[in-house]
Amino acid sequence: MAESPLRPPTMADVALLAGVSHQTVSRVVGDHPNVRDKTRTRVRRAIEELGYRRNFSARALATRRTRTLGVVASDTTLYGPASTLFALEEAARAKGYLVSAVSLRRLTVDTLAEALDHLSEGGVEGVVAVAPHRSAVAALAELRHPFPVVTVSSGEARGIPSVTVDQGLGARLATGHLLAAGHRTVWHVAGSDGWLEAEDRAAGWRATLESAGIEPPPPLSGDWSPRSGYRAGRELAERAGRGLTAVFVANDQMALGVLRALREAGLRTPEDVAVAGFDDSPESEFFSPPLTTVRQDFSAVGKRSVALLLDRIEGREPAVTPRTVIAPQLVVRASTLPLPP
């Protein structure tokens, strides 16, 4: 059958080529179970031959479903937010949904309201808000949402379903590992102010030391960047040999800067100063030395977030607002070898 170049193929064209009814094609396209395998194969061959593509606009008008989810995120140049966004897109596609994403420099009441308006006009059925800042959680609580919303990385999200990795547990795993390796204390390079993840990682580090009867040393401040880690590393290098033998850094990129600063100061890792990071970014395995770090399961975060959102969209909302906490995993590499006896 020759297809006219003036219009795209339609479902009727597929039905004619496959020798079936329009309704049968619709069932195959919708993955309906009540179609014989031979018929399904014949229809799919016709779809492939014609290059037929579903008309999502017409489907949305007929069903009032766009099968599109929105995502609002900020700081997507950083590894954690970028990995979360990618995981959400993968999870949505696996469920047959497209994703419309809005990336903001900062999540405030005004920017968030504008983003939600934009997504609403685009016909999204629900939104996942990646809200790692304390200010973002407050902004979400102030706004009325025209569709279901789920948050990620937001801690306790005031009546909104949320998914988060247990940042405090990850910090406890890294700090406890360093203490078990024989270090008398562990210093800390913290993440940016106002980030819930930075606060939780610092709290986990502090609680681990205190439970071991160790007074936590003053933490150094960073901003997630290698440059800020390098500055902190130069300060740490001045303390090496005076009780500083181990450092827990709040992310791998800052740990990279710390490693360089220690190396430039003539200090060896892990022989003089052991270093652990957080995130298990793809590069951390190839640092010199390979970095001990905490792995976050971004795939699980994406799948659970999308599942919670679809539950709300389809009316399966539980009586209690769900909050899913996903456990991280410690990945031990050469940067934290145990101290010699």
* 3-state SS class at 71: strand
State whether 244 and 265 are in the same domain: yes
- Does residue 192 lie in a domain region? yes
The token pair that represents 25 in the structure block: 């094609």
State whether 161 and 171 are in the same domain: no
Q: CA 20 to CA 14: how far, in whole Å?
A: 8
- Does residue 206 lie in a domain region? yes
- Does residue 290 lie in a domain region? yes
Q: What is the pLDDT of residues 98-107, one digit of tens each?
A: 998 888 887 7
Residue 317 pLDDT > 80: no
Residue 137 pLDDT > 90: no
- Does residue 41 lie in a domain region? yes
- Does residue 341 lie in a domain region? no
State whether 290 and 308 are in the same domain: no
* 3-state SS class at 76: coil
Looking at the structure of the chain, the number of domains it has is 3
State whether 196 and 292 are in the same domain: yes
- Does residue 180 lie in a domain region? yes
CATH of the domain at 314: 3.40.50.2300
Decide which of 9 and 86 is more confident.
86
Residues of the chain with pLDDT > 90, as a percent, come to 49
State whether 161 and 253 are in the same domain: no
- Neighbour-count burial for 23-34, b at 16+ CB within 10 Å, e otherwise: ebbbbbbeeeee
Q: What is the pLDDT of residues 28-44, one digit of tens each?
A: 876 677 788 888 899 88
Strands (E), 171-219: 187-190
Q: What is the pLDDT of residues 321-337, one digit of tens each?
A: 678 899 999 999 999 98
State whether 187 and 260 are in the same domain: yes
Decide which of 105 and 244 is more confident.
244
The token pair that represents 221 in the structure block: 């401040």
The token pair that represents 2 in the structure block: 């020759």
State whether 304 and 156 are in the same domain: yes
Residue 3 pLDDT > 50: no
Per-residue model confidence (pLDDT) at position 57 = 44
Q: CA 137 to CA 164: how far, in whole Å?
A: 13
State whether 79 and 160 are in the same domain: yes
Among 149, 204, 152, 158, CA closest to 177: 204
State whether 154 and 84 are in the same domain: yes
The mean-pLDDT minimum among 55-69, 260-274, 302-316, 323-337 falls in: 55-69
CATH of the domain at 20: 1.10.260.40
State whether 127 and 202 are in the same domain: no
For residue 132, the enclosing domain spans 64-165+298-325
State whether 319 and 275 are in the same domain: no
DSSP 336: G
- Does residue 38 lie in a domain region? yes
- Does residue 178 lie in a domain region? yes
